[in-house]
Amino acid sequence: MLNKKGSGWMFFFFSVFMLLMGTALMYELFKEKQDTSMRIGDVQNAALELYFKSDLLRGDLNENVRLLAYESLLEINENGGFGKANNCGRMDNLVVWDYDKCWPDVEKNFLLLFEKKMKEGGIKYEKVELTEGELVVNFGLQFFEEKLKDAELEYEREIIVHEKVEFDFNNIKELKRKILDARSTGDYTGLGKVEEGYISFRIENDKSGLEFNMGRGFGVKKLVFQFAIREPF
């Protein structure tokens, strides 16, 4: 049995021991907390990096859609509602509409031409629609991943691009109706001036867009929808 002096020394050593153990435990807890915080920070940074990558891809796709939509629209305008690879007749370099073989569905031709340019550019997509003057391109789910030391992050995002198409398709539909009315009545006087048996049409759009030419880069060009019809149509 310990006397009072021995008990005092034992208590002192026990206290020092507990203090040292407590300090060591607190150090380990602090270190673990710090390591955990660093890991959480790495994960958060990686998650943000994945989002930025997805947003960068979306931005690139948006720019591709904008450029190819304008290129398609420019080609449609210059060729009377068709792509340049058409079999229509010509008058002074204007496409001549013919009810039997060259009667354009302008919206459909625009979409077909846009999709052709997307495929030629190797740009993959799931669906393209033209709704109320807006081009909607669905690129589907895009997957992104980031590998860390102790974790692997995966992120998926559906990318849909909306691009306003600066063209009045309804105006062309109305003009087609007037041409058909003139055809049925034989009266073309309300459509325009007849020159050498043809009536030419030129509809300017107040919007301009970027055009890309190999060797010359980008330039600004105004859209002008033009074509001709033969009288009688």
Give pLDDT, residue 134.
95
Is residue 228 within 8 A of residue 95, CB to CB? The reply is yes
134 lies in a domain? Answer: no
| Residue 52 forms part of a structural domain | yes
pTM: predicted TM-score of the whole model, two decimal places: 0.74
Between residues 81 and 42, the one the model is more confident about: 81
Q: What is the largest CA-CA distance in the chain?
A: 132
Residues 177-224 have pLDDT tens digits of 999 999 999 999 889 999 999 999 998 876 554 444 445 444 566 789
Return the pLDDT at 46. 74
pLDDT digit string, tens, across residues 14-37: 444 444 444 444 444 444 444 444
What pLDDT sits at residue 6?
46
Give pLDDT, residue 48. 79
Whether residue 172 lies inside any domain: the answer is yes
Residue 114 tokens read as 């846009």
Report which listed range, 42-46, 59-63, 229-233, is most confident. 59-63
Q: How far is it, in rounded angstroms, from Cα 135 to Cα 69?
A: 8
Q: Which domain holds residue 225?
A: 4-120+166-230
Full DSSP string of 87-134: --EEETTEEEEBTTTB---HHHHHHHHHHHHHHHTT---SEEEEETTE
Question: Does residue 28 lie within any of the structural domains?
Answer: yes
Mean local confidence (pLDDT), 155-182: 93
Residue 91 lies in a domain: yes
224 in Cβ contact with 122 (< 8 Å):
no
Does residue 62 register a pLDDT over 70?
yes
In a domain, 197, yes or no: yes
pLDDT of residue 74 exceeding 90: yes
How many structural domains are present in the chain? 1
Q: Which helix (H) or strand (E) holds 46?
A: helix 4-78
Is there a domain that residue 129 lies in? no
131 phi/psi in degrees, rounded to 5: -125, 115
